[in-house]
Amino acid sequence: MGTALRRFWIPVLLSEEVPVPDCEPIAIRILGEDLVAFKDTNGKVGLIDAYCAHRHAHLYWTRNEENGLRCTYHGWKYDTEGNCVDMPNEPAESNFKDKIKITAYPTREWGGVVWAYMGPVEHMPPELPQFEWARVPEEHRIATKRLQESNWAQAVEGGIDSSHVSFLHSSLNQAQTGMITGVPAQAVAPGNASNPSFAQQGRTMALDKSPRFWIGHRDFGFLAAARRNAGEDKYYWRITPYLAPWYTIIPGGGQEGSSLSGHAWVPVDDEHVWTFTFTWNPTRPLTPEEHATHMQGFGVHTEVDKNLPRWDLKISNSYKPIRNMDNNYMVDYEERRKRTFTGIKGISEQDMSIQESMWPIVPRWREHLGTTDKAIIEFRKLVMGMARDLLEGVEPEFPHTPDAYRVRSAAITISRDVPWEEGSAEVVKAKV
Amino acid sequence: MGTALRRFWIPVLLSEEVPVPDCEPIAIRILGEDLVAFKDTNGKVGLIDAYCAHRHAHLYWTRNEENGLRCTYHGWKYDTEGNCVDMPNEPAESNFKDKIKITAYPTREWGGVVWAYMGPVEHMPPELPQFEWARVPEEHRIATKRLQESNWAQAVEGGIDSSHVSFLHSSLNQAQTGMITGVPAQAVAPGNASNPSFAQQGRTMALDKSPRFWIGHRDFGFLAAARRNAGEDKYYWRITPYLAPWYTIIPGGGQEGSSLSGHAWVPVDDEHVWTFTFTWNPTRPLTPEEHATHMQGFGVHTEVDKNLPRWDLKISNSYKPIRNMDNNYMVDYEERRKRTFTGIKGISEQDMSIQESMWPIVPRWREHLGTTDKAIIEFRKLVMGMARDLLEGVEPEFPHTPDAYRVRSAAITISRDVPWEEGSAEVVKAKV
Amino acid sequence: MGTALRRFWIPVLLSEEVPVPDCEPIAIRILGEDLVAFKDTNGKVGLIDAYCAHRHAHLYWTRNEENGLRCTYHGWKYDTEGNCVDMPNEPAESNFKDKIKITAYPTREWGGVVWAYMGPVEHMPPELPQFEWARVPEEHRIATKRLQESNWAQAVEGGIDSSHVSFLHSSLNQAQTGMITGVPAQAVAPGNASNPSFAQQGRTMALDKSPRFWIGHRDFGFLAAARRNAGEDKYYWRITPYLAPWYTIIPGGGQEGSSLSGHAWVPVDDEHVWTFTFTWNPTRPLTPEEHATHMQGFGVHTEVDKNLPRWDLKISNSYKPIRNMDNNYMVDYEERRKRTFTGIKGISEQDMSIQESMWPIVPRWREHLGTTDKAIIEFRKLVMGMARDLLEGVEPEFPHTPDAYRVRSAAITISRDVPWEEGSAEVVKAKV
């Protein structure tokens, strides 16, 4: 599976982690590999082996200076290509440094994220996937991340599971008020809570908790469409795009001026995952109030301690959630009795409380999947198929269809006689 | 051994952990098995598999409502029998829920404790063991617990080891004053410290530190009788009942109005044990002062942090001792030099300092047992024999002799020519 | 390798850890073996098996009284020879105690350190290695230790690696000012920073970062001589003695009144090492200011928390560094940008940041050794050769040449036409 995932461009860092040329380097683990990231003097981001080739000192303890990382042990210096460009402890006439090259991965910086390609160079996709959240101007976007204590796949499975929203993220009197805690960004944006259409969606989800699912295969992965009854002649459709290998977009948006949110789940190793979260508005900058609300952990973004190291994972800046397993996610039992389904603050923490509890890797032989797990089954087929195909020499096509990724989610109420693929066709197109 | 232990009713929780109907659920590990406990709307205690059958979400993150635990992920709901009684994310016409049943164990609530039977139903003893501490009215009893970092067997072995009391729990000038730290409850009950008979016992134990041991086999396990010289013509006998598989009663009581104390050591897993401690007075309610003294950690009960989770063990409420290995049990070296044998506050913490230091599972091949270890040898014979018998199809009888458990300890001084079994016969009978 | 190391007298404790007769015992791990150390009533230091032979209780929880450690469980008492000298829970007529003897190692107290011999008695060297730091009067010496999270060998390799000083311990404008952070004690002794000769050394090291290395084999191990250009007709030589199996002396001293510093790296187990650090002045007592400067972590000594237990390693007093991996060694990035190479306070912490980052055991198959790694290669040859020889029955000679250890380091500037061994011959002799 790792080999298949390495055919894709991978979001490895937030841009904020390497904010300026010659900033501090970052120790990071991606797909079980220990790396350091840095931005060189020219503004190019390097992503190279975490260890100096000389004596295996970790390059987090380096100086980022004059277009390279200089190991603090003996001054060996590496550029963003992994070349050893200086070896000051060797005699001037030595050509030893020319023989030293460490692993380095091509990177690009785009959409608030540093991307890397960690696969064989002959299969490198020329273009990044054209996510709308990456294409909008910077001030239209919030990009955050957190370290989650679970395998990546069960996290993706949470993202494409439209049926859990009626439970995990719901409030207790939702059927009456429509007030929900489980929909993205716009739910908590000032002014939107009273959006009548939005409150209606909340009521609809509370009243019909057993949606029926359809899958529509696409060049980027698939659309998972969940249908709920909405009055006598209409259906409420929540359409979640799954974009291979680990992206999802939360159903929502659609109204003029409304925002969308989505995730990327990038494996740290088998038992940890980087959860990236994006909120973007296609038509306008996000307001300071919207920023503040998200940063305070009210929406799908997570309150984190960015700087705490996790050297057991060789991570210098762990983005560890403030509300985490060790403090029972600061669950408020009074809140659970009176107002919300879980008593846990934050949609992302609600998700973590479940996904981290399922064991680091869910023992899938203990599951009993039902009719609402269609998207999960489909996801497993797709990624396992991709891995199997590759074993037989069949390359995945997803990494090479960047424009297919110009897609949105949908949350629409349409007449019962309109097929969902027809009724949502325009809505699910990215506009930017 | 686990199979043999599952033939008994097991104390799994304090009643205080599931205090009222629809209270918060508890995540707990017993005999290596991860479970959740809850009290349903009707007041019945459920003890079921910790994981939802659907997607393996931990049921600690549930809502306890209307006679069942409802998983916060997709709302599947389980009753105390483990039946899935609601599956709201499936279509109304689905009968999927009828096919879902998770492990559930029969429970009873009695004596300040929730009991469970975790063995094959055809061998379930109809009646609980009739401990005096369970039979007395609630206000006559204190029941507490702690999480201990050791195998259960070496903890039981501490409980039946009457000879360590002359050392681990002693004070330095005990031979003169009789002041001891190592006998139960009544030692620290206001007014009792000056009990002349009690001080005499302390002096006796200080003066004769090499008791001789006898074992008397009984239907509940055995009595371990430790004999010390007490003047020229008398013996001081401390008689400790070991009640299969993991109960002990501390020698003491006997005077009008005095209390007794005992323990149950229930395996969390191979390297952790729930230490339950009971203090009871057969004839009168315990006073607020006695309660306070125990709760402050002066006697055999332990000061704990009830709510700290230990998710590495899948325990939501760990009852972790305040004075523990990581802080060297807050040993006071000055106190050790001047007053008590260990310098550690609390009889239970003194025991932990030893039992947790012996490695999580004592390497018994390194032991050198002596004449005072008779009870320990007997205990090992009994439990190993029980496990071996079961392998050959011979069921243990202990679980089916509940009235045999109506027994007390003794601490008596009698004439040298009276055999201990005769001299203690009345004393060791429970009176309630 | 462990067998070979056990042919040497080993520094196991600081004398301050067993300061007075009948002081508190210490739980310690040396070469993977769990031990307790204590000073008996007569002032003799015992180093015996950590566990009581009776029931495997850890003897840290003992009373150190009347020439022996008395186990708090049942009062068994051991003398410094490991004899069981009292067994109060056995009958007076029993001779059981005469059959009980636990592991005990011969110890000596000398030079601020408790030494132990942990090998076969027939190979015990009669005399301790005659280090100058041990031979000077107590008030001429500072001896400290820390627990380091790495294998011992990569720590020794840091100590004999004279080339890293031009980098890891350097300051940014060193070529101009000569101000360096990476040389020992005297660098930070008040008054010495402006020592012109000393500043000159700093400039020299900054200007020539690729020293050439020579090895001179000696009866104690070897001298590693690093040569740097120093003006047109001179060389600056830094000569580091490596003394088998794990001692080094930092180049320095030599001027009237100046101090020297050195290390011993004693394995706790394969992934932890006790780093002992010594600073001594051959001719005068160290001043209170020098003491204070070292204790505050400005030089080669480390600020530690002496009393924190590490029961995962069976260590009661861990001497854990205050600036450690879990807090990124309190690196100050501003300091790194403006003044010093690493931004980390303390030479020892700078070393730790590298040595602990290389993995607990450096994966040496990933290294690329260069011309400045000669001493490291020589060290590996020597210790591996010693282990291999022993397998063939050839005993190491180093432990039996105690006077060979009367050696110093050197940091001298001499004419280019004088061979280093000749030019340093007098300097590297210990004078005490």
Q: C53-75 pLDDT, tens per residue?
A: 999 999 999 999 999 999 999 99
B92 pLDDT exceeds 80?
yes
What is the spatial distance between Cα B230 and Cα B201, in angstroms, rounded to a whole number? Answer: 9
**Nearest Cα to A276, choosing from A115, A147, A129?**
A147
Size of interface B-C (CB pairs under 8 A): 93
What is the spatial distance between Cα B137 and Cα A54, in angstroms, rounded to a whole number? Answer: 74
Average of per-residue pLDDT across B77-106: 96
What is the spatial distance between Cα A189 and Cα A286, in angstroms, rounded to a whole number? Answer: 10
Tokens of C118: 């942990």
Which residues of A lie inside 8 Å of C (Cβ-Cβ)? 24, 51, 53-58, 60-61, 63, 71-75, 87-92, 94, 96, 99-100, 309, 311, 316
Backbone angles phi, psi at A309, to 5 degrees: -75, 155
Whether A90 and C362 lie within 8 Å, measured CB to CB: no
A100 Rama sector, left if φ>0, alpha if ψ -120 to 50, beta otherwise: beta
A31 and A2 Cβ atoms separated by less than 8 Å: yes
A263 and A162 Cβ atoms separated by less than 8 Å: no
pLDDT for the residue numbered C180: 57
What is the spatial distance between Cα C55 and Cα C74, in angstroms, rounded to a whole number? Answer: 9
Whether B354 and C73 lie within 8 Å, measured CB to CB: yes
Tokens of B192: 């009792």
pLDDT tens for residues B347-373? 999 999 999 999 999 999 999 999 999
Contacts of B36 in chain A (CB under 8 A): none
B22 and B42 Cβ atoms separated by less than 8 Å: no
Residue A277, helix vs strand vs coil: strand
pLDDT tens for residues C405-414? 999 999 999 9
Q: Which of B54, B58, B71 sits opposite A368 (nearest CB)?
A: B54
CA distance A371 to chain B (A): 7
Residue type, A345: K
Residue with tokens 């000073």: C39
**Nearest Cα to C324, choosing from C165, C154, C150?**
C150
pLDDT for the residue numbered C191: 39
Contacts of A368 in chain B (CB under 8 A): 53-54, 96, 99-100
Residue type, B226: A
Whether C209 and A88 lie within 8 Å, measured CB to CB: yes
Q: Which of B336, B350, B366 sits opposite C51 (nearest CB)?
A: B366
C34 and C50 Cβ atoms separated by less than 8 Å: yes
Tokens of B401: 């002799």
Neighbours of A402 (CB within 10 A): 17
Question: Could you tell me which residues come within 8 angstroms of residue B270 by beta carbon, excluding any fewer than 6 positions away?
Answer: B32, B151, B360, B361
Q: Which of B61, B96, B316 sits opposite A354 (nearest CB)?
A: B61
CA distance B5 to chain A (A): 26
CA distance A75 to chain C (A): 6
Residue in chain A nearest C376 by alpha carbon? A55
Q: How confident is the model at residue C207 (pLDDT cuts 50, 70, 90)?
A: confident
What is the spatial distance between Cα A141 and Cα C254, in angstroms, rounded to a whole number? Answer: 64
What is the spatial distance between Cα C312 and Cα C298, in angstroms, rounded to a whole number? Answer: 30
Give the chains touching C; criterion: ≥3 Cβ pairs < 8 Å.
Answer: A, B
Whether A333 and B56 lie within 8 Å, measured CB to CB: no
What residues are paired with C245 via a beta bridge?
A: none
Whether C54 and B341 lie within 8 Å, measured CB to CB: no
pLDDT tens for residues C230-280? 988 999 999 999 999 999 999 987 777 889 999 999 999 999 999 999 999
Question: Could you tell me which residues come within 8 angstroms of residue B334 by beta carbon, excluding any fewer than 6 positions away?
Answer: B343
B226 and B237 Cβ atoms separated by less than 8 Å: yes
**Nearest Cα to A89, choosing from C368, C299, C382?**
C368
Distances (CA, A) of A11 to A158, A432, B84: 19, 20, 41
Please, where are the H alpha helices in C114-269? 132-135, 152-159, 174-177, 196-207
pLDDT tens for residues B189-248? 334 433 456 677 788 888 888 999 999 999 999 999 999 999 889 999 999 999 999 999
B107 pLDDT exceeds 70?
yes
CA distance C5 to chain B (A): 26
What is the spatial distance between Cα B33 and Cα B104, in angstroms, rounded to a whole number? Answer: 12
What is the spatial distance between Cα A192 and Cα A352, in angstroms, rounded to a whole number? Answer: 25
Q: Which of B168, B327, B369 sits opposite C73 (nearest CB)?
A: B168
Contacts of B55 in chain A (CB under 8 A): 157, 358, 362, 367, 369, 373
Residue in chain A nearest C226 by alpha carbon? A89
pLDDT tens for residues B137-172? 999 999 999 999 999 999 999 999 988 988 999 888
Tokens of B195: 């009990």
Q: What residues in chain A have per-residue pLDDT under 70?
A: 177-198
Mean predicted lDDT score pLDDT of chain B: 93
What residues are paired with A107 via a beta bridge?
A: A116
Whether A24 and C358 lie within 8 Å, measured CB to CB: no
Whether A357 and B87 lie within 8 Å, measured CB to CB: no
B185 pLDDT exceeds 50?
no
Which helix or strand (DSSP H or E) is residue A145 part of?
Answer: strand A141-148
Residue in chain B nearest A154 by alpha carbon? B55
Backbone angles phi, psi at A201, to 5 degrees: -60, -40
What is the spatial distance between Cα B115 and Cα B9, in angstroms, rounded to a whole number? Answer: 6
Which helix or strand (DSSP H or E) is residue B45 part of?
Answer: strand B45-49
pLDDT for the residue numbered C205: 83
Cα angle: A307, vertex A64, A310; to 5 degrees:
25
Whether B54 and A367 lie within 8 Å, measured CB to CB: yes
CA distance B85 to chain A (A): 15
Contacts of A325 in chain B (CB under 8 A): 309, 311
B211 and B227 Cβ atoms separated by less than 8 Å: yes
Question: Could you tell me which residues come within 8 angstroms of residue B367 by beta carbon, excluding any fewer than 6 positions away?
Answer: C53, C54, C55, C56
B37 and B12 Cβ atoms separated by less than 8 Å: yes
Q: Where are the beta strands (DSSP E) in B68-199?
A: 69-71, 77-78, 84-86, 107-110, 113-117, 141-148
pLDDT for the residue numbered C177: 67
Contacts of A364 in chain B (CB under 8 A): 56
Backbone angles phi, psi at C314, to 5 degrees: 60, 40
Whether A325 and B316 lie within 8 Å, measured CB to CB: no
What is the spatial distance between Cα C41 and Cα C64, in angstroms, rounded to a whole number? Answer: 8
Whether B325 and C311 lie within 8 Å, measured CB to CB: yes
pLDDT tens for residues C27-45? 999 999 999 999 999 999 9
Q: Which of C24, C75, C316 sits opposite B167 (nearest CB)?
A: C75
A299 and A188 Cβ atoms separated by less than 8 Å: yes
C346 and C323 Cβ atoms separated by less than 8 Å: yes
Which helix or strand (DSSP H or E) is residue B226 part of?
Answer: strand B221-229
A263 and A252 Cβ atoms separated by less than 8 Å: no
Neighbours of A337 (CB within 10 A): 15
pLDDT tens for residues B252-283? 877 778 899 999 999 999 999 999 999 999 99
Q: Which of A24, A56, A75 sits opposite C358 (nearest CB)?
A: A56
What is the spatial distance between Cα B225 and Cα B222, in angstroms, rounded to a whole number? Answer: 10
Residue C421, helix vs strand vs coil: helix
Q: What does B186-197 look like in DSSP terms, one character per residue?
A: GGTSTTTTT-HH
Kindly state the DSSP code that residue C54 receives in the 8-state scheme.
Answer: T
Long-range contacts of A417-425 (CB under 8 A, 24+ apart): A420/A214, A420/A225, A420/A227, A420/A235, A420/A237, A420/A239, A421/A216, A421/A223, A421/A225, A423/A237, A424/A223, A424/A225, A424/A237, A424/A239
Q: Which of B24, B61, B87 sits opposite A357 (nearest CB)?
A: B61
Largest CA distance in chain B: 85
CA distance B373 to chain C (A): 10
Angle at which helices C347-355 and C152-159 cross, to 10° = 130
pLDDT tens for residues C179-197? 655 444 344 333 343 345 6
pLDDT for the residue numbered B190: 37
Contacts of A168 in chain B (CB under 8 A): 72-74
What is the spatial distance between Cα B118 and Cα B111, in angstroms, rounded to a whole number? Answer: 19
What residues are paired with C239 via a beta bridge?
A: C225, C410
Which residues of A lie inside 8 Å of B (Cβ-Cβ)? 157, 163-164, 166-168, 209-212, 325-328, 333, 336, 341-342, 350, 353-354, 357-359, 362-364, 366-373
What is the spatial distance between Cα A263 and Cα A250, in angstroms, rounded to a whole number? Answer: 8
Backbone angles phi, psi at B81, to 5 degrees: -90, -5
